[in-house]
Structure 1
Amino acid sequence: MRHDIQPNERAFSTKEVAEEMGIATTTVRRYGQILERNGYEFFKDGDRRIFVRSDIDALKAIRDTDKPQDDMAKDLVEDQRNRLKRSTEVAIPNTYDHSLQDPAQLSEFFKALTNELAAAREMNVQLSNDMNELKTKVSRLQQDHHVISSGVGNFAQKTSTNIEKLSEQQKNHYEALLEQEREKSEALKQELQHMRDEQRKEWQSQNEFNKRLEESVKPKGKLERILALFR
């Protein structure tokens, strides 16, 4: 478990690290995952990573390396283990073995505890601020979602009404056109029938004339032929 936090050391959120490094928050999380799967330890608040300055330096090393990122992560993990080991070796003899016997060391021990407590409090304040900011963003997103949902619902209702009106108008228009075509068709039928009747009369008249003409050219008296033409 990590215990290398420095007195009054500041804690950083993922968003702050991303802004400092000039990368996306998703990239910060991906670098953190690369480090963790190779054995690197982060301070955690539940499943959420809390970054200190040494962690940011490790993330920058992952970002800037020319080596495979997993190889660089292994080197950084080894550095972290050595740093934690040195910190443990110094803390145990100087603090726990002699602090209760030496008033000066006891004072330093309490001073270190006070500084660590202050750093923890600062970290908690930062986490609280981040949580409040997150809650505010979630609340705004919920409000935006409600506004968008209402807008979409109203738009859908208006669109449905307009479609129904347009469909009714088109239906009426088509029915009117159909009725006009029916009337035109009926008038055309009547006109055609009239033309046929006239043609039939014309044919009948022509046939009668032809018969009279034939009768007139038959050998008859001159007077009868003349009169036949006018029958």
Structure 2
Amino acid sequence: MESKDDVVSEVYLKTIDVSRITNLAESTIRKYSLELEKQGYEFNKDGDTRLYHADDVTVFNTLKEIREKTKVSLNHAVSVLMTQHSRATQSVARSEVAVTRVQNEEGQHALQSISSEIRNFLEDIKTEFIGFRKELEIERQSNDLFKQELEAERVKNQELEKKLDLIMTELEKLNAKADISNQEPKRKKLFGIF
């Protein structure tokens, strides 16, 4: 979660805002900015417009203080300020290098731990996959056996259908003969030959 300092430090100020905060004229802020940029200081910019940060306001206040106390030229005051800024940056850089080494060691340990966990996880997946593949092979063999049994059953059913068709044909013939024999006696009675 962001603290109030984080939120405030992300606010960018314009020249007029810095002028009001530092009690320096806008033209003085621009003049100081140009000299600072000549000596390597970098400001955030949006196109040609400088966007000042809370740290930049501190730099302007420090520069103002140096000039008021020592009465040196702007160029010399900026040189002093940049030297102080450089030393502070180097000190912070050394601290960051030390912290980075510790973080790298911790990071490597964490990576090794994660790598080991991933390796174990992949081995588990591989084992499960092999087991699953064996189950599928057994299921496939079972399906092949079932297909063979089903095919044999289908052949039997076809043979039974053929036999049933033959029986039905024979029954139809018998029924036709029975119908003919049943009709003949009726005719005799009908004509009264008796």
TM-score by length of 2: 0.52
Structure 1 residues not aligned, in runs of 5+: 1-21, 24-56, 93-112, 226-231
Question: Are 2:5 and 1:61 aligned?
Answer: no
Could you tell me how far apart the structure 1 residues matched to 2:13 and 2:61 are? Answer: 22
Deviation at 1:133, TM superposition (A): 0.6
Percent identity over the alignment is 8
Match of 1:75 among 52, 67, 71: 52
Could you tell me how far apart the structure 2 residues matched to 1:83 and 1:131 are? Answer: 38
Could you tell me how far apart the structure 1 residues matched to 2:106 and 2:189 are? Answer: 120
Q: Deviations over 1:180-203 (max 9, x none)?
A: 233233223313321321331232
Deviation at 1:131, TM superposition (A): 1.5
The residue type paired with residue 129 of structure 2 is A
Deviation at 1:149, TM superposition (A): 2.2
Greater RCO structure (CA 8 Å; 6+ sep): 1
User: Which residue in the other structure is 1:162 paired with?
Assistant: 135
Could you tell me how far apart the structure 1 residues matched to 2:133 and 2:125 are? Answer: 12
Question: Are 2:147 and 1:174 aligned?
Answer: yes
Structure 2 residues not aligned, in runs of 5+: 15-43, 67-75, 81-86
Structure 1 residues 81, 187: CA separation in 2 closer, same or farther (over 3 Å shift)? same
Could you tell me how far apart the structure 1 residues matched to 2:174 and 2:78 are? Answer: 133
The residue type paired with residue 75 of structure 1 is Y
State whether residues 63 and 77 of structure 2, in contact with CA within 8 Å, keep that contact through their aligned partners in structure 1: yes
Match of 2:111 among 138, 141, 148: 138
Structure 1 residues 141, 219: CA separation in 2 closer, same or farther (over 3 Å shift)? closer
Structure 1 residues 119, 187: CA separation in 2 closer, same or farther (over 3 Å shift)? closer
The DSSP-based 3-state class of the residue aligned with 2:51 is: helix
